[in-house]
Amino acid sequence: MTAVPPHRPQGPITSQFAARAPVYLDGLNAEQREAVETTEGPLLVLAGAGTGKTRVLTTRIAHILATRKARGNQILAVTFTNKAAREMKERIGKLVGASVEGMPWLGTFHSIGARLIRRHAELVGLRPDFTILDTDDQIRLIKQLLAAENIDEKRWPARQFASMMDGWKNRGLLPKDISPADAGFFANGKGQKIYKDYQARLKTLNAADFGDLLLEGIRLLRENPEVLAQYHDRFRYMLVDEYQDSNTAQYMWLRLLAQSRDGVNSANICVVGDDDQSIYGWRGAEVDNILRFAKDFPGAKTIKLERNYRSTSNILAAASHLIANNESRLGKTLQTDVGDEGEKLSVTKVWSGAEEAREIGEEIEQYQRQGDQLNDMAILVRASFQMREFEERFITLGLNYRVVGGLRFYERKEVRDALAYLRVIANPNDDLAFERMVNVPKRGFGPATMQIVHDIARAADIPLTSAIRELVETEELKPKPRSTFRELIRQIDDWASRLHTIPHYEVAEQMLDESGYTEMLKADKSADAPGRLENLKELTRSMGEFDNLGGFLEHISLVMDRDTGEADDAVSIMTLHSAKGLEFNTVFLPGWEEGIFPHQRSLDESGLAGLEEERRLAYVGITRARKRCRISFASNRIIYGRVQDALPSRFLDELPPEAIEVTDTGSSYGGYTYGGRATTRFDDRDPFESVYETPGWQRAQRQQSARKGPGPVTIDGDLVARSSGPSAAYAVGERVFHLKFGYGTVTAAEGNKLSIDFEKAGPKKVLDSFVKRG
């Protein structure tokens, strides 16, 4: 884009903008002020954690307005969330002393993309009033296209294709750009055709999905040079926040708007970000976008913001030492603006996950007694399944907590679904649990079929499972649902019988596999599906702490019955991904073990790039702390009732010794002593120490020895519901009428089941509640 000389906009601009210029620059350090006042040409502001990047970004916009370099509608300012856009506009208004309503191009990538497309909708085959589809509509449309191609949706789920297509759009790929290799991953090579048909169908519907808001904008700007030139002239200044989190499509869209027209001069573009905080690669973010900014915009200036206003020097030293192990980074060293060194980071070795939760709970209570607010403390976990032990411990202690960015563990859908299955196994009379699990995963039971089951159950005053046992012996239901119900009841009975021969947590694991629930989540290619699978593994793992299924379900009922209302003062529990941008006086970082952190899935899927992103996540976690950072790892984790060794995270060895202090709680299960040196300086337990006398191992042995072998299942006195009702009120030879089959004659009666020879439908077996005397 051709460099634009200082511009005096047409129309009035409030004179107080210029008059207040010295005020809004007050308090900025030298680097921040330089970033604000360097308005011409490309600029990369490399802003470390807690260095005031948002203040720099908003002050820069205020400076451009105040010095009359551009009007508000000539500034493109891009953020990643609507909340950030609102806060930015409010801050700018306060800085310039006036309301900032004239900035239509301040918003998220997608909101600005939608605005741009609506202005030129006809050039991309749409009308200005096009609809933006939500996920449900998108899935429904894909299912229609799969059916048209005779593709089995069970084998090739629509949700899987939606995720694949979203990935293509995040990479800026149109249907014609899809390689045969990419297309071959779905429906034996039909992926490209379905994508093409999907895009064509959207045009017919005058609709776009979320990915199109950028993809169609890229196509618009590429295919229409006159439109691109119009926006080159319009946007005199461009600013982008959190540039390290941009994906390929966002990068392409931005490059088109910011490219130079004469090949010499570059746009007045400023991107703000931190390569060390790029942690969203799993959803398409490309850290390379910020790493190659200087190459993309020759002559670009880089200003590093390294003065941290949040954390003590020990915290920053640990974070900087850790992140220095990454190769793919531009490099900076954070310096504290806080007076003293502060406490050293503590690295604590505990025996198990349960002890880790106890230790952290006791430490929080100690800080609380000293006058610290719970709101100033947070537990940051790598994966959501880690939250369970902390939630249960805090409930036991009566310690207020809140889960940020998600539901509490036992409120998550996949956990509630699994619990419904377990409740039905323990008690088939539990109709509420049965209704939740009967069609998850989808088994094809429609409302009409379930209405028949409910009618039978109400008429005979029996549970739904008992009604189904009767219906599968008759012909009231169509063959397919009858067969599916019969198989489901067989499975429920089979799972219940296994409780007498194998541990209940193994039954739960087998149940999730055999029911198809695990496979359903594996087929789901959304970003949160792997985490949902981990939550189910954590659920079955936690069952090993109880002697039987009944004890476990009783515990869950008590936990879920506790008051879940949000307290004014509460400890925050969240994942590290959710913590970005937040800060707390005290931060706990549990579970620093290989496989958990760094997460094994990241290493398996992305190799070195995955490891470096995990390290950036650790850096984010440490830099959330203002005063205290408490890291912990367990020597053992209980997996399905067995104690298994856990290796300390490699990140622990990358922390500087002078900034940390290591403590070892020993074992609360018998006072083991540790000696010698193992894989790291944090793991010095005797490698020959036996774990076979631990309570977890002994409990598992007791469970095995307590099994009585096969026999009748009796939970609460009546697990297996009766399969027959009272004697039928109809005699052999009696004429009856059935709403579906018409008139007929009773030929046999067995309990409440009738064999009837219908005049038109022939011989059928039905329940007596479905007929009346003819």
Place of tokens 């499509």: 249
Q: What are phi and psi of 748, to 5 degrees?
A: -160, 155
Whether the Cβ atoms of residue 312 and residue 284 lie closer than 8 Å to each other:
no
Neighbours of 148 (CB within 10 A): 11
Neighbours of 708 (CB within 10 A): 7
Whether the Cβ atoms of residue 729 and residue 744 lie closer than 8 Å to each other:
no
**Nearest alpha-carbon partner for 344 in 652, 589, 593, 662:** 662
Q: What's CA 48's distance to the chain center, in Å?
A: 25
Distances (CA, A) of 682 to 322, 348, 486, 518, 769: 16, 9, 55, 36, 71
**Nearest alpha-carbon partner for 667 in 639, 644, 691:** 691
CA–CA distance, 289 with 302 (Å, rounded to integer)? 14
Q: Which segments of 156-209 does DSSP mark as H helices, in order?
A: 158-170, 180-183, 191-204
Identify the active-site residue in 242, 534, 545, 613: 242
Bridge-partner residues for 731, per DSSP? none
Residue 178 makes CB contacts below 8 A (sequence gap 6+) with: 168, 191, 192, 195
Q: Token pair of 316, please?
A: 């920053």
Q: Token pair of 100, please?
A: 């900032």
Answer yes or no: 277 catalytic. Answer: yes
CA–CA distance, 770 with 756 (Å, rounded to integer)? 12
Identify the active-site residue in 241, 506, 538, 683: 241
Identify the active-site residue in 32, 39, 51, 54: 54
Q: Token pair of 689, please?
A: 């120490």
Hey, what amino acid is at 28?
L
Q: Residue 543: helix, strand or coil by DSSP?
A: helix
Identify the active-site residue in 31, 39, 51, 53: 53
Q: 552, exposed or middle or buried, with CB in 10 Å at 0-12, 13-18, 19+? A: buried
Residue 652 makes CB contacts below 8 A (sequence gap 6+) with: 347, 592, 631, 633, 680, 682
Place of tokens 């200005």: 128
Answer yes or no: 624 catalytic. Answer: yes
Q: By 3-state DSSP, what share of the chain in percent is helix, strand and coil, each rounded to 5?
A: 50, 15, 35
- How far apart, in Å, do the first and last CA atoms of the chain sit? 88
Residue 343 makes CB contacts below 8 A (sequence gap 6+) with: 312, 314, 627, 628
CA–CA distance, 161 with 178 (Å, rounded to integer)? 14
Residue 756 makes CB contacts below 8 A (sequence gap 6+) with: 736, 738, 741, 744, 745, 746, 747, 763, 764, 765, 766, 771
Bridge-partner residues for 208, per DSSP? 132
| Dihedral sign from CA coordinates of 618, 623, 624, 628 | positive
Answer yes or no: 242 catalytic. Answer: yes
The angle that helices 504-514 and 413-426 make with each other, rounded to 10 degrees, is 110
Q: Would you list the DSSP string of 571-594? A: EEEEEHHHHTT--EEEEEE---BT
Q: Residue 488: helix, strand or coil by DSSP?
A: helix
Hey, what amino acid is at 582?
L
Identify the active-site residue in 159, 171, 624, 637: 624
Q: Token pair of 315, please?
A: 């915290």
H or E stretch covering 322? helix 313-323
Catalytic residue numbers, as ranges: 53-54, 241-242, 277, 624
